[in-house]
DNA sequence: TCATATATAATCAAAAATAATCATATTAAA
DNA sequence: TTTAATATGATTATTTTTGATTATATATGA
């Protein structure tokens, strides 16, 4: 067996199990530990896996999940610009609904300047942030608290939302795909988002370019249910045109 | 398990709960404290979390904390003792309702030890605090957010409460008077408290001695609607006896 | 403020894994 | 076939990882 064949087997193994110990690989490949280590070193140099003491991990397993905290760090500029643009679309005295999400959280921080505004939100961090904005009345949507997204969701949330009508909804989303529509990883959260869309006169979608083309498990709605969308300028021209064709007003920000 | 895997688990844990103690992590990871601390140090160096005495916080959580203009809490010692006593009265697996208030906030902080508990609350700060308690499912009552008390109140709160039944309510109060009953300064908040009493099998009143004999504008309920009361020992003997005569179980704490 | 309880850092020892070295085997090319 | 180049495995030295121990630092309440 040639070394290239061996390396392919190593990669397949790690792809399958997520990780592999040097011991395991000596048995699978029937070679010495020294050889396994030499193979792993080559593969790491080629950026195909991550070595650890005792073996190796697939890159997927070390590339930490795109979590709230990190997303916020990585696309903060885009989100900030999107939030600033969103603020321009809000009028004094309106009632707005802010979905849970990092972009909407940025938006909440930008609301200080309003003298009179009613904000409805299902996000615990947004509720907390708005405590310090004197001119803003805050209506919190209740519900089961999801620790992953800080969103309140479920039947209680939906019933509370049913009691309200809002002028503008600012919706956050995980996946925005022209065919699959708006999607998010959690079914219950998706249902809550759907309810939000129902009670809003106008729906504004906030999405940075990393969301475009992404599809998650749970569908929230078709894109046509959105009235306006705010994106950053790293989105393909073609996508923008298709959105416009659907009758959606597209705002482009330049972070 | 390789160190890289461990670190990923630590990050996921902190992402989920906002924070983690060294103790918790030794159990989750099944390694020594020294190893946990070394992992935390590496992760802090990589700017993926913030270490504290006793554990670590997510970076998100660090930014989340400050803003709230907290008024000075009086009688903290009494409240702390009352909260500790209240915890003893809660059983694993129950559903409890925590009213907004400084004493109930102290109580929330003491709930770490429970492996399974459902907490319903109308307080924004309690909701936030409970994010970091892994075993606790949190159901937030929605409503208008009162910046004075951090309570969610009003029609939305009452309708949400109407969907729920709880085993035990821990009620905070401004005035506890034998004749005037339970009173609080805000009418709407009083109505919300009344609704809370309705949906609870058992009502526990938490009050330090400064509340006794006080009467506020809005009446919440008569004292007899309370099943048990926890007071500190600076309350007049006579008052205690009268409460007992009413059939109320009185717990006395010694701060 | 001080005392006490915790938590942390520093140090060390043991175990395990790795790198370095060298001898041997295999392959490719002349 | 011979020779050079490369790959492999065994051996040994070094490094890494971990947990235990002790000293230091930090919080918390009296």
Q: Are residues B68 and A128, on separate chains, in Cβ contact within 8 Å? A: yes
List, in order, residues 6 or more apart from B3 with CB less than 8 Å away.
Answer: A52, A53, B39
Reported as a single tens digit per residue, the pLDDT across A55-91 is 999 887 665 533 333 333 568 889 999 999 999 999 9
Query: Closest partner residue to A143 among B69, B130, B140, by Cβ?
Result: B140
Closest approach of chain A CAs to the CA of B139, in angstroms?
4
CB of B53 under 7 A from strand D? Answer: yes
Tally of CA atoms within 13 A in the half-sphere of B102 that contains its CB:
17
Which two three-digit tokens encode residue A65? 């999940």
With a cut of 80, say whether residue B22 has pLDDT above it. Answer: yes
Tally of CA atoms within 13 A in the half-sphere of A59 that contains its CB:
9
How many C-beta atoms surround the C-beta of residue A181 within 10 A? Answer: 18
With a cut of 50, say whether residue A231 has pLDDT above it. Answer: yes
Considering all nucleic acid strands, name the nucleotide whose C1' atom is nearest to the C-alpha of residue A54: C17
Which chain A residues have a beta carbon less than 8 Å from that of B137?
Answer: 144-145
Which chain B residues have a beta carbon less than 8 Å from that of A129?
Answer: 67
Question: What pLDDT does B58 receive?
Answer: 83
Reported as a single tens digit per residue, the pLDDT across B78-88 is 888 899 899 99
Question: Quick one: average pLDDT of B219-232?
Answer: 96
> Which residues 73 to 92 of B reach strand D, CB within 7 A?
77
- What three-state secondary structure class fits B103? helix
- What three-state secondary structure class fits B182? strand
Pairwise pLDDT comparison (B28 vs A68), residue with the higher score: B28
Q: Are residues A131 and B48, on separate chains, in Cβ contact within 8 Å? A: no
Locate the chain B residue with the closest alpha carbon to A56: B2
Q: Find the Å distance, CA of residue A73 to C1' of nucleotide C8.
A: 29
How many C-beta atoms surround the C-beta of residue B85 within 10 A? Answer: 20
Reported as a single tens digit per residue, the pLDDT across B165-217 is 999 999 999 999 999 999 999 999 999 999 999 999 999 999 999 999 999 99
With vertex at residue B177, the alpha carbon angle to CA B173 and CA B182, rounded to the nearest 5 degrees, is: 35
Protein footprint on strand C: which nucleotides are under 7 Å from a CB?
A: 6-11, 16-21
Kindly state the DSSP code that residue B73 receives in the 8-state scheme. Answer: P
Distance CA A147, CA B130 (A): 9
Closest approach of chain A CAs to the CA of B158, in angstroms?
10
**Which of A84-93, A179-188, B69-78 bottoms out in mean pLDDT, i.e. has the lowest?**
B69-78
Q: Are residues A131 and B58, on separate chains, in Cβ contact within 8 Å? A: no
Which chain A residues have a beta carbon less than 8 Å from that of B3?
Answer: 52-53
Which chain B residues have a beta carbon less than 8 Å from that of A143?
Answer: 139-140, 142
What chain B holds in terms of domains, given with CATH numbers, is: 3-63 (1.10.10.10), 68-253 (3.40.50.1360)
With a cut of 50, say whether residue B70 has pLDDT above it. Answer: no
**Residue holding tokens 């409240």?**
B79
- What three-state secondary structure class fits A96? strand
Query: Closest partner residue to A52 among B2, B16, B139, by Cβ?
Result: B2
The residues with which A212 forms a beta bridge, in sequence order, are A176
Distance CA A100, CA B132 (A): 18
Question: What pLDDT does B69 receive?
Answer: 43
* Cβ–Cβ < 8 Å for B184, B214: no
Q: By percentage, how much of chain B surpasses pLDDT 70?
A: 94
């Amino acid at each position: 067996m040639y070394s290239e064949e061996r390396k392919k087997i190593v990669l397949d193994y790690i792809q399958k199990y997520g990780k592999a110990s040097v011991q395991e690989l000596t048995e699978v490949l029937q070679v010495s530990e020294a050889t396994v280590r030499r193979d792993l070193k080559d593969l790491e140099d080629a950026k195909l896996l991550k070595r650890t003491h005792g073996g190796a991990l697939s890159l997927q397993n070390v590339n930490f999940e795109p979590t709230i905290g990190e997303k916020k760090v990585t696309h903060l500029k885009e989100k900030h610009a999107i939030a600033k643009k969103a603020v321009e679309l809000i009028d004094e005295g309106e009632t707005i609904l802010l979905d849970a999400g990092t972009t909407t959280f940025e938006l909440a921080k930008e609301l200080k300047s309003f003298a009179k505004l009613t904000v409805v939100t299902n996000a615990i961090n947004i509720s907390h942030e708005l405590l310090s904005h004197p001119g803003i009345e805050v209506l919190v949507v209740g519900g089961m608290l999801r620790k992953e997204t800080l969103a309140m969701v479920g039947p209680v949330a939906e019933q509370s939302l049913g009691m309200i009508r809002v002028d503008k909804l600012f919706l956050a989303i995980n996946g925005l795909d022209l065919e699959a529509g708006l999607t998010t990883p959690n079914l219950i959260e998706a249902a809550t988002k759907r309810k939000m869309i129902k009670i809003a006169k106008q729906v504004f979608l906030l999405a940075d370019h990393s969301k475009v083309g992404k599809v998650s498990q749970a569908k929230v709605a078709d894109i046509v249910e959105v009235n306006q969308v705010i994106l950053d300028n790293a989105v393909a021209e073609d996508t923008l045109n298709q959105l416009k064709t659907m009758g959606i007003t597209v705002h482009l920000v330049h972070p």
